[in-house]
């Protein structure tokens, strides 16, 4: 499982439910396509180039090849069979022409270009010859070898998805990996529980621990255990192994009865969780780290504490968090008012917005990886989805309360967190510049959901001493990044927040390894001296209620 290669899932919690909850409107997509085709001379040039290359393809003289990492054309027949080889090259040539038109438009009209790219990505990925049995040599060979059994299994898989998955291919087989047995198995105990969340304290694995504990704040949609996957791939397991006293918030999966839960609800729970951690450890203050939208919530908490001169938090970390939604963010191209209004209406009507609805736009932003890859595997090849911890977690979605969803949509659409006083939470005007605690900010180089330059902005918006680290991977691959992978690396530099992102990157140095190591080193420096590890979890006032991973991660409630 550790070395298995699978596409990165389309995680919706990554941006805290700020997804419009639907693909862009037809009007927007048509506008983008119209703008692309209106480039008269450019379209003419690309048409001529396409025709010339297709002639070379027909004559067997084309040198067009799939891009590195494109696994659709891995079967030898795509190179050895002249018919399949020409079909492959013709398809790739047409895709390149489409990309060139969008790239040219992007130089003049970024917003329309993103809509055109979204639409053409769906069109070109759908048109891939690998998506049809008759033009997929691997699927035809498997059908022959299994005497049609693969086709029968594929049809069964398709029927099952139509009935239970909205007609979309399943990315993970339910029930194969169990929470508490295969995933989320780092030892610990729940020391606090209320209607909103449980607090998990993880069992130390070192004889001594650092005195100042760390509270992990996951995003409020999705289960926390992407930070506690299989052993060897668990952030929680790694942190206790470094001697960091580690606590995790496990959010309850809300239903329509919790429709009015808001940013204030979640931020208040973080504040009480900080006190839970202080009580359990005897520490006067804590460090916190927020992942994705958990970082947005943490910024609200830090602003509240700063306004009151409250020093309960010593240092704060932000992992792939966007506080500033301006800039060339692919998702930001879909901030149209009608789409936002529709998303709000949906969640108000139901009381919650579910993970499947929120994930739709993200899925179609990467259709080759997140749709057609599984279409071919599940239906044409008649195979079960791969067994992989991240895919199992990604399929285990949760809801977002209507009120919180609406607030995140407003942040996404209006980008008003960066305007001092434009928002008020916990009875306190939000001004990110009041956050003066030391910060560690992490971004991911190839992140298409929270682009790294946007995450870097946090070092400029807050005013404490900042450290910025840039992982070499994508959004989730950047987060689930255990040490030991020889291909993993990260960039470290100086003067974060005092120079712009590109200047920082120019002077940054690349190191082999995981950003987890850089974060742990930073956290240890902000965690005071070592003390003897506690023999038991919790305290007299907060005894262990149940072993980790607790009840809420399994949607179990105490009546």
Catalytic site positions: 292
Q: How far is CA 35 from the centre of its chain?
A: 30
Report d(CA 405, CA 265) in Å as an integer.
13
DSSP 264: H
Q: Give a three-class secondary structure readout of 234-245.
A: CHHHHHHHCCCC
Contact call for residues 179 and 549 (beta carbons, < 8 A): yes
Q: What angle do CA 136, 389, 291 make, to 5 degrees?
A: 115
**Sign of the alpha-carbon dihedral angle for 449, 452, 458, 460:** negative
| Peptide bond connecting 479 to the previous residue in cis, omega within 30 degrees of 0 | no
Contact call for residues 502 and 452 (beta carbons, < 8 A): no
Q: How far is CA 332 from CA 25, 326, 336, in A?
A: 14, 7, 9
- Tell me which residue of 280, 190, 180, 274 sits closest to 228, measured CA to CA: 180
Q: What SS3 state is found at 418?
A: coil
Report d(CA 13, CA 221) in Å as an integer.
5
Report d(CA 72, CA 70) in Å as an integer.
6
Report d(CA 53, CA 504) in Å as an integer.
41
Report d(CA 554, CA 178) in Å as an integer.
10
Residue 497 in tokens: 């927040």
DSSP 484: T
Under 8 Å CB-to-CB from 217, ≥6 apart: which residues? 249, 270, 273, 288, 289, 290, 291, 294, 295, 297, 298
Q: For 38-136, where are the alpha helices, taking DSSP H only?
A: 40-59, 77-80, 82-108, 110-126
Contact call for residues 315 and 437 (beta carbons, < 8 A): yes
Q: How far is CA 201 from the centre of its chain?
A: 24
- Helices then strands, counting H and E runs in the chain, come out as 20, 17
Q: How far is CA 492 from the centre of its chain?
A: 22
Report d(CA 236, CA 516) in Å as an integer.
11
């Amino acid at each position: 499982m550790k070395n298995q290669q699978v596409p990165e899932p389309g995680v919706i919690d990554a941006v805290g439910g700020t997804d419009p909850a639907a693909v862009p409107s037809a009007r927007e997509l048509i506008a983008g396509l119209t703008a692309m085709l209106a480039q008269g001379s450019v379209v003419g040039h690309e048409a001529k180039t396409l025709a010339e290359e297709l002639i070379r393809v027909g004559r067997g003289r084309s040198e067009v090849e799939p891009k590195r990492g494109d696994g659709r054309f891995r079967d030898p027949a795509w190179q050895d069979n002249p018919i399949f080889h020409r079909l492959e090259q013709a398809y790739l040539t047409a895709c390149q022409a489409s990309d060139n038109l969008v790239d040219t438009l992007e130089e003049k009209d970024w917003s329309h270009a993103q809509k055109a790219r979204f639409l053409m990505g769906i069109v070109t990925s759908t048109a891939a010859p690998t998506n049809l049995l008759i033009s997929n040599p691997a699927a035809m060979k498997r059908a022959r070898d299994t005497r049609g059994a693969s086709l029968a299994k594929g049809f069964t898989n398709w029927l099952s998805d139509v009935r239970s998955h909205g007609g979309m291919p399943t990315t993970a087989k339910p029930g194969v990996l169990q929470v508490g047995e295969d995933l989320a198995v780092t030892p610990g105990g729940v020391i606090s529980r209320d209607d909103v969340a449980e607090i998990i304290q993880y069992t130390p694995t070192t004889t001594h621990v650092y005195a100042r504990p760390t509270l992990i704040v996951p995003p409020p949609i999705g289960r926390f255990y992407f930070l506690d996957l299989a052993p060897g791939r668990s952030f929680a397991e790694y942190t206790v192994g470094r001697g960091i006293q580690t606590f995790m918030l496990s959010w309850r999966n809300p239903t329509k009865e919790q429709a009015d839960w808001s940013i204030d609800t979640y931020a208040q729970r973080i504040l009480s969780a900080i006190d839970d951690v202080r009580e359990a450890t005897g520490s006067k203050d804590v460090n916190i780290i927020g992942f994705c939208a958990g970082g947005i919530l943490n910024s609200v908490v830090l602003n509240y504490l700063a306004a009151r001169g409250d020093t309960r938090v010593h240092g704060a970390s932000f992992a792939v968090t966007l506080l500033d939604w301006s800039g060339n963010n692919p998702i930001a191209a879909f901030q149209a008012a009608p789409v936002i209004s529709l998303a709000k209406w949906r969640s108000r009507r139901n009381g919650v917005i579910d993970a499947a609805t929120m994930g739709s736009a993200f899925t179609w932003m990467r259709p080759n990886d997140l749709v057609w890859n599984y279409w071919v595997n599940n239906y044409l090849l008649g195979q079960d989805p791969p067994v992989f911890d991240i895919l199992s977690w990604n399929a285990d979605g949760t809801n977002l309360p209507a009120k919180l969803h609406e607030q995140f949509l407003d942040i996404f659409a209006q980008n008003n967190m960066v305007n001092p006083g434009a928002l008020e939470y916990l009875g306190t005007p939000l001004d990110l510049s009041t956050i003066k605690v030391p910060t560690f900010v992490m971004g991911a180089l190839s992140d298409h959901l929270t682009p790294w330059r946007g995450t870097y902005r946090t070092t400029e918006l807050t005013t404490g001493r900042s450290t910025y680290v840039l992982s070499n991977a994508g959004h989730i691959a950047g987060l689930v990044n255990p040490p030991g992978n020889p291909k993993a690396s990260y960039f470290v530099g100086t003067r974060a927040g005092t120079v712009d992102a590109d200047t920082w990157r120019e002077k940054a140095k690349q190191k082999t390894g995981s950003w987890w190591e850089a974060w742990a080193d930073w956290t240890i420096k902000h965690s005071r001296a070592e003390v003897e590890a506690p023999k038991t979890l919790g305290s007299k006032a907060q005894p262990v209620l149940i072993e980790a991973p607790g009840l809420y991660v399994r949607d179990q409630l105490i009546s």
